[in-house]
Amino acid sequence: MTLLPELYMLLFSVFFLFLSVGKKRISLFTAARVLALLGFFVTLACAGARGTLFSGAYQVDFFSQVFKVLLSAGFTLVVFMFEKEKEVENLPEFFMFLGFSTLGLMILVSSVELISIVVSLEISSFSLYAVVPLRKAQTRTQIEAAMKYLFFGAISTGIMLYGMGYLYGMAHSTYLPDIMAKLPQFLSQPLGVLAIILTLTAFFFKLSLFPLHFWAPDIYEGASDATTTFIATVPKIAAAALLIRLTMLASSAPEQMATVIIVLAAFSMTLGNLVGLVQKDVKRLLAYSGIAHAGYLMMGLLSFNREGNAAVVYYIAVYLFMNLALFYVVMLLSRRGENVTINDLSGLARRSPLLALTLAVAAFSLAGIPPTGGFTGKFFLFVTAFKAGYLAIVIIAAVNTVISVFYYLNLVRVSYSRESEELRPLTLAFHEKVLCCVFNIVIIYMGLMPFGLIDLFRDAM
């Protein structure tokens, strides 16, 4: 039971590996959906598992299990959302690589030792490097996106290994508990803070946080809709988990680390929102939105305590659903796999009221408008940063939230108040309607009834 979620995800990936070399006599979409849903229930059933494996390098506890449930939920939803065979080449390999990437992320959230962190991060990253070029419409933009993702990923991993070398040199151990015991005496010196920042680099890359955000807009625009949806949501859950683990190493010297976090968060929020104002491509707009939200997320880490960390987990859970909802609208509008522009949203309310409602709920949530989960999540982050005494970053975040309202509500305005030349109604299948309703209900529920979940996440910390 301790390793069952990881073993199941490994079997999922190997199953599609065999399908890729043999003759495909089954419906790949049906198989992927059934197996992914079964994997989610398996992960949920193992939520109570506890144990330490591989000489203490692998820790299965409530903290890791909460993140594995979120990862499995995100993976399952992406598999259910994806249904355009014309968009992606080599479908069995596509599902295999997504499975291996999720496996790497699941291993990552349980890793409490530097080498196992690196190995699990690379399992996840290499799979995504292979998935980005699988879009059928081979264009220069897409090839450029794949190359950028690979090079930026390699560079961020190299910087992370450099930082880990310093941590090992200080603590003479690769285990996080040993490093936590030895690091406080070095954190008053620039070297200790530098080691932590360099080590966090790869997770800043996964979150697309400033200054490691350059890859995001091009990859979001160049990759297929399903690939972009996965990259924009699922890896960020594991990155948040490791950021919590690693920033707690520096909890004995919060002033030095807090300064770095405040600067990165402020630049990330401001750049993401200002550049987001002028975007025309919806996926590119969501890339800059993700950069801004990475800045909001960092605010929760400033308190270096259980409350702040629980707020981070709550926000990443809300972010998963509201981002998936908006990407689902993009996927359903883009029936042939082409990129959707803001003008393509014109007349959506008349063509498909449910799809327009889903877009509105997701956009309101991303903008932080009550009673959505985005508002409640931001409220928790702002309160924890304010209680920790960081008023300046709260004011910067509030101003940025106001700026972001312009481009999020513009999506809603175009879909409800602008007429379209395309008058044919958008017919949704039954499962598409169900998925839209699930997203809307979850986002509203997390906005109105947050306390059960926030208490659960507090316990996990």
Residue 23 scores a pLDDT above 70: no
Using pLDDT thresholds of 50, 70 and 90, give the confidence band for residue 252: low
Which whole number is the average pLDDT over 260-286?
84
pLDDT digits (tens, 9 = 90+) for 379-420: 888 888 888 888 888 888 888 888 888 888 888 888 888 776
Q: Three-class SS string for 156-203?
A: HHHHHHHHHHHHHHHHCCCEHHHHHHHHHHCCCCHHHHHHHHHHHHHH
Residue 22 scores a pLDDT above 80: no
pLDDT digits (tens, 9 = 90+) for 149-196: 888 888 888 888 988 888 888 888 888 888 887 777 777 777 877 888
In whole angstroms, give the CA distance from residue 268 to residue 262: 10
CB 101 within 8 A of CB 124: yes
Give the residue among 125, 100, 79, 82 at the shortest CA–CA distance from 8. Answer: 100
Task: Give the residue with greater pLDDT, 425 vs 275.
Answer: 275
Using pLDDT thresholds of 50, 70 and 90, give the confidence band for residue 61: confident
Residues 6+ apart with CB under 8 A from 166: 191, 194, 195, 198
The confidence score (pLDDT) of residue 220 equals 79
| CA dihedral of 93, 94, 97, 101, whole degrees rounded to 10 | -170
Using pLDDT thresholds of 50, 70 and 90, give the confidence band for residue 240: confident
In degrees, rounded to 5, the angle at the alpha carbon of residue 309 between the alpha carbons of residues 306 and 311 is 110
The confidence score (pLDDT) of residue 84 equals 64
The confidence score (pLDDT) of residue 250 equals 65
CB 345 within 8 A of CB 411: yes
Give the residue among 60, 32, 157, 77 at the shortest CA–CA distance from 317. Answer: 77
Residue with tokens 């930082």: 163
The confidence score (pLDDT) of residue 257 equals 74
- 358: part of which helix (H) or strand (E)? helix 353-367
Residue 261 scores a pLDDT above 60: yes
Give the residue among 164, 169, 163 at the shortest CA–CA distance from 194. Answer: 163
For the chain, give every domain's residue range.
Answer: 253-461
User: Which tokens sit at 123?
Assistant: 């399992």
The confidence score (pLDDT) of residue 85 equals 55
Residue 21 scores a pLDDT above 80: no
Task: Give the residue with greater pLDDT, 389 vs 252.
Answer: 389
In whole angstroms, give the CA distance from residue 288 to residue 350: 28
Give the residue among 279, 372, 286, 375 at the shortest CA–CA distance from 329. Answer: 286
Using pLDDT thresholds of 50, 70 and 90, give the confidence band for residue 374: confident
In whole angstroms, give the CA distance from residue 339 to residue 284: 10
CB 116 within 8 A of CB 107: yes
The confidence score (pLDDT) of residue 413 equals 86
Type of residue at 319: Y
Task: Give the residue with greater pLDDT, 252 vs 2.
Answer: 2
Question: What distances in angstroms separate CA 201 from CA 162, 205, 243, 299, 359, one per listed residue?
Answer: 10, 6, 10, 17, 33
pLDDT digits (tens, 9 = 90+) for 91-101: 788 888 888 99
Residue 138 scores a pLDDT above 60: no
Give the residue among 273, 307, 458, 457 at the shortest CA–CA distance from 381. Answer: 307
In whole angstroms, give the CA distance from residue 283 to residue 222: 9
Give the residue among 232, 240, 246 at the shortest CA–CA distance from 286. Answer: 232
pLDDT digits (tens, 9 = 90+) for 110-122: 888 888 888 988 8
The confidence score (pLDDT) of residue 276 equals 80
Give the residue among 214, 72, 198, 226 at the shortest CA–CA distance from 135. Answer: 226
Using pLDDT thresholds of 50, 70 and 90, give the confidence band for residue 88: low
In whole angstroms, give the CA distance from residue 192 to residue 197: 9
Residue with tokens 């962190």: 117
Residue 329 scores a pLDDT above 80: yes
pLDDT digits (tens, 9 = 90+) for 220-236: 777 777 888 888 888 88
Give the residue among 219, 89, 229, 90 at the shortest CA–CA distance from 153. Answer: 219
Q: Three-class SS string for 272-283?
A: HHHHHCCCCEHH
In whole angstroms, give the CA distance from residue 370 to residue 190: 42
Task: Give the residue with greater pLDDT, 406 vs 454.
Answer: 406
Average pLDDT over the chain reads 82
